Chains A and B, each alone.
Chain A
């Protein structure tokens, strides 16, 4: 996002540096003063809600108590880390769940988004594309708590649509809300439902930009529809797919607390697969006030998250120089 300096830019800057005089510098600061003013509110928000929380990570070396706060609490050395390593099982479970769910979201989400985009791209009926695209995009606008409420009417043991259907087919009913591994499938499906239409918009836009002469040439050569999709359309999407996937690696340790809260209501029976890092921190620290372990796992999430972002960016850079983010 940070723009590369173009040669002209650099030349300008060099020239400026050579000719810099105190008066000119003062003049430019005077002219730019309103800019600092305009940026000020944004800077304040970034400092308050992003940079100070980073410094709050020193919490991990503290024995937190409410009265002294983050910065005033007594130092605890590495006690919190010892705690962290002594209950590794929790940390491993939370990490596993976070990464597992994110990988599943990424794979299934990409597959469905790409499939929808490709299929829409084949259609010549403009109104059909328009209507279905709108319908498929709509779930993106719905909050997880609403999705949770609707899911409940599908999955409830006695009253849910799913168990009614199973019963009608003569199959035994399933207790979805006490089957953590089955519920993971539900989470993945819910995620597809909510975001496939959104993802499809991106890939569909890429497809709209393809030169139609490729298709004409293929058709003249007698290629079938399926061949055209596999040999032209899909290859055209591969760069975007790889790029989006690489970039999503950077977010592998981030979890969506709202999603888990909205869909499972923190159901303890489901925690074996839904206890992602963010849920764990919320449960132990914010709900129960046990800060030691949560602070260690927060630091670990931040640091490894940062490393993942750097790695993902590096890989994106190898793949395609222009797609590097910074």
Chain B
């Protein structure tokens, strides 16, 4: 009898997880389907999980009349992500190394200096005024990078990885006369590479997905990231309606407003979806290491 009960519960579990997984996945199907539908049928019949009147006209429209904006937004996002990630990883690992050096008498001071910013914050407003009026980061590419160069959480995560490197290796290098710079670059970074890759991915994800900084600092259309372009599209549908109606195959068509949003969604998620299967393991490891007491 208990056997049957156990089996029933287990089947119920499988069903629950399967349903929630489908719910997690379905919205993306909706987006793809919307992007492949024709505008007229979406307008008349609404969105659907199966393309309404399968067509590529939306993508033709986007790549036809909005190509320049999309390519530029992609380029800005890519630049910010690459430059930001590289710089942030350098800043973060260097700081994390300092905090992890056991013989350094002020390491706790440095650790607390970073940690205190997690406890107390001046809030958005002073941050905004300083960034725009004093640092002049508004409407500059560097403004989309610099504020995120040191995530205290990732810094402590990296410290954990550095601490797990056997101390004997460092000691023997010191005996051989290596200084801190050499130990950091030649020993800690290569041996802590799993940590370096992990925090790189967290930074890359943050830079790619961010639209807080553009929201705060960017008004210049040339500095729109792909996320912010998406935001302006959603918040202000006029963006798509403006400009010339696209000419596809000689016929003038009205700009496809609804399907274009879905197509932009697909274009924005695409790079993440492609890389996800290869990289998710690092995120999982990072989350587990980070949550088990830093």
Q: A53-B130, A134-B280 are in contact. Are A302 and B30 (CB under 8 A)?
A: no
Let me know if A298 and B115 touch, CB within 8 A.
Answer: no
Q: Is A239 an interface residue (CB 8 A)?
A: no
With a cutoff of 8 Å between Cβ atoms, the chain B residues found around residue A188 in the complex are none
Let me know if A32 and B104 touch, CB within 8 A.
Answer: yes
Let me know if A205 and B234 touch, CB within 8 A.
Answer: no
**Stretch in contact with the other chain, from B60-68, B86-94, B165-173, B240-248:** B86-94
With a cutoff of 8 Å between Cβ atoms, the chain A residues found around residue B210 in the complex are 143, 258
With a cutoff of 8 Å between Cβ atoms, the chain B residues found around residue A116 in the complex are 17, 20
Let me know if B280 and A1 touch, CB within 8 A.
Answer: no
Q: Which residue of A lies closest to B213 (CB)?
A: A258
Let me know if B181 and A34 touch, CB within 8 A.
Answer: yes
Q: Which residue of A lies closest to B96 (CB)?
A: A42
CA distance A50 to B123 in the complex (A): 9
Let me know if B114 and A323 touch, CB within 8 A.
Answer: no
With a cutoff of 8 Å between Cβ atoms, the chain A residues found around residue B126 in the complex are 52-57, 59, 70, 298
Q: Is A295 an interface residue (CB 8 A)?
A: yes
Main secondary structure of the interface of B (DSSP, over half): helix
Main secondary structure of the interface of A (DSSP, over half): helix
Chain B's nearest CB lies how many Å from the CB of A84?
13
Chain A's nearest CB lies how many Å from the CB of B229?
10
Let me know if A148 and B24 touch, CB within 8 A.
Answer: no
Q: A42-B114, A202-B287, A302-B121 are in contact. Are A28 and B105 (CB under 8 A)?
A: yes
With a cutoff of 8 Å between Cβ atoms, the chain B residues found around residue A147 in the complex are 27
Q: Is B54 an interface residue (CB 8 A)?
A: no
Q: A3-B111, A136-B20, A298-B126 are in contact. Are A153 and B133 (CB under 8 A)?
A: no
Let me know if A57 and B231 touch, CB within 8 A.
Answer: no
Q: Which residue of B lies closest to A295 (CB)?
A: B125
CA distance A154 to B120 in the complex (A): 38
CA distance A96 to B261 in the complex (A): 33
Please encode chain B, from 230 to 265, with 1 for each CB lying within 8 Å of some chain A CB and 0 for all others. Answer: 110011000000000000000000000010011011
Let me know if B134 and A69 touch, CB within 8 A.
Answer: yes
Interface residues of B in 265-294 (CB under 8 A from A): 265, 268-269, 272, 276-277, 280, 283-284, 287-288, 291-294
With a cutoff of 8 Å between Cβ atoms, the chain B residues found around residue A13 in the complex are 105
Chain A's nearest CB lies how many Å from the CB of B204?
11
Q: A46-B150, A198-B287 are in contact. Are A55 and B122 (CB under 8 A)?
A: yes
One of B20, B46, B125, B205 near A160 (C-beta < 8 A): B46
With a cutoff of 8 Å between Cβ atoms, the chain A residues found around residue B124 in the complex are 257, 278, 281-282, 286, 298
Chain B's nearest CB lies how many Å from the CB of A158?
7
**Stretch in contact with the other chain, from A101-109, A120-128, A179-187:** A120-128
With a cutoff of 8 Å between Cβ atoms, the chain B residues found around residue A278 in the complex are 124
Counting chain B residues whose Cβ lies within 8 A of the other chain, the interface size class is 35 or more
With a cutoff of 8 Å between Cβ atoms, the chain B residues found around residue A1 in the complex are 111, 115, 156, 294
With a cutoff of 8 Å between Cβ atoms, the chain A residues found around residue B34 in the complex are 153
Chain A's nearest CB lies how many Å from the CB of B189?
12
Let me know if A50 and B117 touch, CB within 8 A.
Answer: yes
Interface residues of A in 37-60 (CB under 8 A from B): 37-39, 41-43, 45-46, 48-57, 59
Let me know if A34 and B227 touch, CB within 8 A.
Answer: no
Interface residues of A in 283-326 (CB under 8 A from B): 285-286, 291, 294-295, 298-299, 301-302, 305-306, 309-310, 322-323, 325-326
Q: How many residues on chain A are close to B (CB under 8 Å)?
A: 106
Please encode chain A, from 200 to 229, with 1 for each CB lying within 8 Å of some chain B CB and 0 for all others. Answer: 011001000000000000000010111000
Q: Is B10 an interface residue (CB 8 A)?
A: yes
With a cutoff of 8 Å between Cβ atoms, the chain B residues found around residue A257 in the complex are 124, 212, 215
Q: A2-B115, A123-B13 are in contact. Are A139 and B149 (CB under 8 A)?
A: no
Q: Is A145 an interface residue (CB 8 A)?
A: yes
Interface residues of A in 9-68 (CB under 8 A from B): 13, 16, 28, 31-32, 34-35, 37-39, 41-43, 45-46, 48-57, 59, 64, 66
Let me know if B272 and A142 touch, CB within 8 A.
Answer: yes
With a cutoff of 8 Å between Cβ atoms, the chain B residues found around residue A28 in the complex are 105
CA distance A154 to B265 in the complex (A): 14
Let me know if A39 and B30 touch, CB within 8 A.
Answer: no
Interface residues of A in 246-268 (CB under 8 A from B): 250, 257-258, 261-262, 265-266
A3-B108, A160-B46 are known contacts; what are 5 more A-B pairs with Cβ within 8 Å?
Answer: A31-B179, A42-B91, A49-B146, A70-B129, A205-B291
What would be 23 A-B contacts, judged by CB atoms less than 8 Å apart?
A32-B104, A37-B181, A38-B180, A38-B184, A42-B94, A42-B149, A49-B131, A52-B122, A53-B122, A56-B130, A69-B134, A132-B18, A159-B47, A201-B284, A201-B288, A205-B288, A224-B2, A225-B5, A225-B10, A286-B125, A298-B122, A302-B120, A306-B120
